[in-house]
Amino acid sequence: MCLIAFAWQMSGRPLLLLGNRDEFHPRPTRPACFWNEEGQPDLLAGKDLEAGGTWLGVTRSGRFAALTNIRSPQARPGPLSRGKLVLDYLTGRMSPQAYMQGLSDSLGEYAGFNLLAGSMQELWFLNSDEGQARALEPGVYGLSNASLNSPWPKLQALCKGLEGELERDSDSDTLLELLKDSREYPDEELPDSGVGLDWERRLSATFILGEDYGTRACSLLAMDADGSITFVEQSFGPDGQELGESGWIL
């Protein structure tokens, strides 16, 4: 994913997460579904058909994970797909703490990433450049392609929007609308992440429109106090063409 805002242990629920996946449109992808064909019938996630991993997923038992890439002038390549980090946690049995702390010796095998891994009871965060996994306290957080709560305009706007909707106990449709803001921000507010000004402008939007590259999925993951889990994914094609919506209650 490229943009995530989430409320952890707020307003009486363990988790409310909103996220956009931005990607080149030709990259082959399977929309979110249960991974029955892979022998993982309890795993609900999309699938990167090129590298085999995923960017956001949840299991029937309440394990969840999400990942964003780090974009910076110092970005380094890595031999392994970052989507494997999410998949390995979701299909494993290690606690969030043990899994995240166990990655410390293998960070160099992946290009830069931010990883969230959690359960109903705990949530851990790891930025590969910082190299130190930590448990998150209750609160509202944002992740894009830098570190946690970096002051990027679209990230701050999405977090503010999420905070406002928490007070209103909004439904899924209203929450997902927060992810569809296609405005681009002024040059003086943009980060320098090493991609050049034209791309910084384009990537500054919450919802990125483009024929070749753009937002391909808007997702909502909610865990309620009664243990129920809601997952909604809306899919998009080039220039924001709507391709459909799927939703599950676990």
Cβ atoms 33, 99 nearer than 8 A:
no
What is the reported pLDDT for 72? Answer: 81
Cβ atoms 225, 12 nearer than 8 A:
yes
Q: Which helix (H) or strand (E) holds 199?
A: helix 197-203
pLDDT of 107 > 90? The answer is: yes
What is the reported pLDDT for 78? Answer: 87
Instruction: Please write the tens of the pLDDT for every residue from 171-183.
Output: 999 999 999 999 9
3-state secondary structure of 113: strand
In angstroms, the Cα distances linking 121 to 69, 79, 226, 240 are: 25, 33, 13, 36
Query: Residues with Cβ < 8 Å from 212, sequence gap 6 or more?
Result: 24, 25, 26, 238
Integer Cα distance of 128 and 70 in angstroms: 9
Instruction: Please write the tens of the pLDDT for every residue from 41-57.
Output: 999 999 999 999 999 99
Which of these, 52, 39, 45, lies nearest to 19 by C-alpha position?
45
Q: What is the largest CA-CA distance in the chain?
A: 49
**CATH fold for domain 3-249:** Penicillin V Acylase; Chain A (3.60.60)
- Global pTM reads 0.97
What is the reported pLDDT for 77? Answer: 82
Confidence of residue 112 (pLDDT cuts 50, 70, 90): very high
Return the higher-pLDDT residue of 75 and 139: 139
Q: List strand residue ranges (DSSP E) for the chain, in order.
A: 3-10, 13-24, 29-35, 40-48, 56-59, 64-69, 113-118, 123-127, 134-135, 139-143, 213-223, 229-236, 242-249
Integer Cα distance of 232 and 173 in angstroms: 9
Confidence of residue 75 (pLDDT cuts 50, 70, 90): confident
Residue 7 backbone dihedrals phi, psi, to 5 degrees: -110, 120
Instruction: Please write the tens of the pLDDT for every residue from 182-231.
Output: 999 999 999 999 999 999 999 999 999 999 999 999 999 999 999 999 99
SS3 content of the chain, % helix, strand, coil (to 5): 20, 35, 40
Q: Give the range among 13-27, 65-79, 81-95 with minimum mean pLDDT.
A: 65-79
What is the reported pLDDT for 153? Answer: 97
